[in-house]
Chains A and B, each alone.
Chain A
């Protein structure tokens, strides 16, 4: 006889405890989409920097207002995270650290490196 068990159905992503590799992976995607959205910003900045001497100065002061700094910080995080997690995936492609213990450790390592680099970015931006 079948008994009806009350198994919990955790479809709420915030209630599932994801392994660290999964968090690195989804943030790779999120940061990738952010960088996709940053493409026109980058080209606009490049166009500004070569247009005229005044615009060149404006391009140099691109991330100075508080809102621009916030966006700049988010984009800097996206680039740094995407860069280092990307290198982790490239290393896995050549069979470096593709098994569970190494992958778990490299995922934590990537978070550490991103954190340290972001502290440096914030130091340059705000100090």
Chain B
């Protein structure tokens, strides 16, 4: 079975990811305004907490899925040449996968197991 973000599923994923990211951003902003200045060690310890790390991973999952569906919609509308569209889509897919791998490595370096 392959994963395809199209049609109804893409529509739903775009909404779910947007709601999660919006809530995440509001929580982070409220925390940033309320919290005192934070030290390097405290910042790493905070990101290393399993609950926070999972929330951050979910945020980046949402971000990458949302970006994929959004860019795909834009390309479908503005790039009518099928070959060119597929090439750009492939480039975006590779780029987003690389971003996902990168952020996972960054977070693994922080989480203490």
The digit string for A25-49, where 1 denotes a CB below 8 A from any CB of B, is 0000100110110011001001101
How far is the CB of A59 from the nearest CB of chain B, in Å? 9
Q: B44 in the interface, Cβ–Cβ < 8 Å?
A: yes
Q: B89 in the interface, Cβ–Cβ < 8 Å?
A: no
Candidates B18, B74, B99; contact of A40 at CB < 8 Å: B99
Q: A83 in the interface, Cβ–Cβ < 8 Å?
A: yes
Number of A-B pairs whose CB atoms are under 8 Å?
47
Contact B40 A90 (CB under 8 A): no
Q: A47-B106, A50-B43 are in contact. Are A32 and B99 (CB under 8 A)?
A: no
Interface residue tally for chain A (C-beta within 8 Å): 21
Contact B109 A50 (CB under 8 A): yes
Contact A50 B44 (CB under 8 A): yes
Q: A63 in the interface, Cβ–Cβ < 8 Å?
A: no
A47 to B63, CA, bound (A): 17
Q: A36-B71, A50-B109, A56-B43 are in contact. Are A43 and B18 (CB under 8 A)?
A: no
Interface residue tally for chain B (C-beta within 8 Å): 23
Q: A96 in the interface, Cβ–Cβ < 8 Å?
A: no
A29 to B18, CA, bound (A): 14
A1-47 interface (Cβ within 8 A of B): 29, 32-33, 35-36, 39-40, 43, 46-47
B44 contacts across to A, CB distance below 8 A: 50
Q: A50-B106, A90-B19 are in contact. Are A36 and B40 (CB under 8 A)?
A: no
Contact A86 B63 (CB under 8 A): no
Give 13 A-B pairs besides A36-B71, A47-B102, A56-B43 with Cβ atoms closer than 8 angstroms.
Answer: A32-B71, A32-B74, A36-B70, A39-B64, A39-B67, A39-B99, A46-B103, A50-B109, A56-B40, A79-B25, A86-B22, A87-B22, A90-B15
Residues of A within 8 A of B (CB): 29, 32-33, 35-36, 39-40, 43, 46-47, 49-50, 52-53, 56, 79, 83, 86-87, 90, 93
Shortest 7 CB-CB distances between A and B: which pairs?
Answer: A56-B40, A53-B40, A47-B106, A36-B67, A32-B70, A43-B103, A50-B110
15 A–B contact pairs at CB < 8 A? A32-B70, A32-B74, A36-B67, A39-B63, A39-B64, A40-B99, A47-B102, A47-B106, A50-B43, A50-B44, A50-B109, A79-B25, A83-B25, A90-B19, A93-B15
